[in-house]
Structure 1
Amino acid sequence: MEPSTQDFYDGMAESYHLIYEDWKRTVTNQGKFWGQWVRSRFQSLGNGRIRLLDASCGIGTQSLGLAQYGFDVTATDLSPNSVERARQEAEAMGLSIRFGTADFRTLEQDVAGTFDVVFTADNAVPHLLTDEDLLSACRQFYNKCAPGGMVIITIRDYDSLIRERPRATPPRIFDDGKRIVFQVWDWSDDGTTYTTRQFIVQDHLGTWKTESYTAVYRAVQRSELSNFLQLAGFQRVEWFMPEQSGFYQPIVTATKIEA
């Protein structure tokens, strides 16, 4: 039986910040990056509050920073444990964010209202493994966008990865060698999906502790995701690669044209 995406993130909720060198600094940096990047595409709003749905908020890596940057943020995730962690972090930071548990495929019934931006970063969409689920999610993103709004999605560069099929990510070493973070990837025979095992290894007073969490991803190529977005009704599908945007993953945006 394939590992559950919810179990993956529920299990990691208390440790997720450890995959970053300094998670709180990352929150601030992401808020600044995305705040500027999104506002540059909504210049007509000036400094007004942009209504944003972070549909894969996790423990709040982007939503906390965007709230700091003045966005009107609603944050949801499939993982109740992650949402609760994000809620606690927001409270500690004095931020006002509406939180909830929601699936990409059921946003209409799980989340009230529409938004200027529907947002999902950090390769969350490729957890959907079938064409039906990907199209369903894109339709939900479309329905949650206000007229003139846009969806913003970031995923790994699968156009390259599907050719190379790497077996692991390079280890990242933090805390003067006392914390090591890496992933091992087990590809399917046809290269369309892979199982990730996320490892967090830490030195606790001379004893090394290992945490591992498992999830499955689809290697969604850019043409595939563009097609699903267009089938859902979006227009002006645009891709921005890291060398162009400054973000570490490819970004795709698509617009819901005003009636």
Structure 2
Amino acid sequence: MIASFYDELAPFYHLLYGDWEAASAQQGRALAGLLGRHGIGPGAHVLDAACGIGTQTLGLLPYGYHVSASDISPGAVGRLNEELLQRGLKAQVRVDDMRTLLESEDASADAVMACDNSVPHLLTDGELLQAFHSAYRCLRPGGMLLLSVRDYAAIERQNPDVRPYGLRYENGDRFLATQVWEWDGDTHYDLRVYLTHESPAGECRTQVLKSRYHAVTIDQLLTLMHAAGFVDLRRHDDVLFQPVLTARKP
């Protein structure tokens, strides 16, 4: 379900941002600064374990990091390869599942990151713990795990919760995207993304993409990261548009 959702979204993902190129550059700058402040500087190997179409990978590469990028969605990975080619940038890109990271070697990365609220796609604490164990395995001693997530404890439960992205324009077309959250209790919700395209002639078509999220709290994520063996757990509210969590492998 996760893979097919992002396969369908990959061609349009950049339109969810007002300016995706600027957002990618800003996030890359912010992440490079955070990594550098923790002793992980240019030349270090970063594994982007939920790369999507490359928002963080593309932003980080100009700062001299060696990036391996993986995602469960073949469509997103394909889009990232296209974006790298267009920019003349290089990264190792592959399809992989952040729960297992089977394509990544033990102790091969100085940092493992998963941004843009990707880890709450894992619907149970057991899946989350599995992902954190896999990240731990892939990190060198002293390496950092870095996540950006929504603060679900601060989000009011409304049912349905309608969240429009805004109107975008591309190649003469109008593009409107809206999220609808439908809560199933307090800890999980179904997500629908409505993508509407209007041609210059006024012809419209709408796609509906479906996924599901685990509204796991930041406190619970930190507890699970600690259970996986991580230390020096921190929350940062001044790096990206979502809270950033960091932790170290001893």
* Cα separation, 2, equivalents of 1:182 and 1:169: 6
Secondary structure at 1:175 match in 2? strand
Q: Which residue of 1 aligns with 2:60?
A: 66
Q: Is the 8 A contact 2:235 2:246 kept in 1?
A: yes
Q: Is the 8 A contact 1:19 1:200 kept in 2?
A: no
1:250 paired residue among 233, 239, 243: 243
Which structure features the higher share of helix residues?
A: 1
Matches within 5 A, 1:84-163: 84-107=78-101, 109-113=102-106, 114-161=108-155, 163=157
Alpha-carbon deviations, 1:47-104, whole Å to 9, x = none? 5412100000011111011112211100000011111110111011111100111111
Deviates more, 1:194-203 or 1:248-257: 194-203
Q: Note the C-alpha offset of 1:226.
A: 0.7
Counterpart residue type for residue 238 of structure 1: R
Q: Note the C-alpha offset of 1:203.
A: 2.0
1:199 paired residue among 194, 216, 235: 194
1:219 paired to 2:215: yes
Alpha-carbon deviations, 1:19-66, whole Å to 9, x = none? 112222222222222112221221xx6x54121000000111110111
Q: 1:171 to 1:89 in 2, by over 3 A?
A: closer
Which structure features the higher share of strand residues?
A: 2
Q: Is the 8 A contact 2:27 2:240 kept in 1?
A: no
Secondary structure at 2:69 match in 1? strand
Residue ranges of structure 1 left out of the alignment (5+ in a row): none
Q: Return structure 1 stretches of 4+ with deviation > 4 angstroms.
A: 162-166
Q: Which residue of 2 aligns with 1:180?
A: 176
Q: Is the 8 A contact 2:28 2:57 kept in 1?
A: yes
Counterpart residue type for residue 232 of structure 1: A
Matches within 5 A, 1:40-55: 40-42=37-39, 48-55=42-49
Deviates more, 1:158-167 or 1:193-202: 158-167
Matches within 5 A, 1:228-247: 228-241=224-237, 245-247=238-240
* Cα separation, 1, equivalents of 2:245 and 2:169: 34
Q: CA RMSD in A?
A: 1.8
Q: Which residue of 1 aligns with 2:25?
A: 28
TM-score by length of 2: 0.92
Aligned residue pairs, count: 246
Counterpart residue type for residue 203 of structure 2: T
Alpha-carbon deviations, 1:169-203, whole Å to 9, x = none? 14422339933222000100x21100111122232
* Cα separation, 1, equivalents of 2:16 and 2:121: 19
Counterpart residue type for residue 150 of structure 2: R
Secondary structure at 1:106 match in 2? coil
Q: 1:171 to 1:58 in 2, by over 3 A?
A: closer
Q: Note the C-alpha offset of 1:140.
A: 0.6
* Cα separation, 2, equivalents of 1:41 and 1:33: 13
Q: Is the 8 A contact 1:162 1:192 kept in 2?
A: no
* Cα separation, 2, equivalents of 1:119 and 1:165: 31
* Cα separation, 1, equivalents of 2:204 and 2:44: 45
Residue ranges of structure 2 left out of the alignment (5+ in a row): none
Counterpart residue type for residue 13 of structure 2: Y
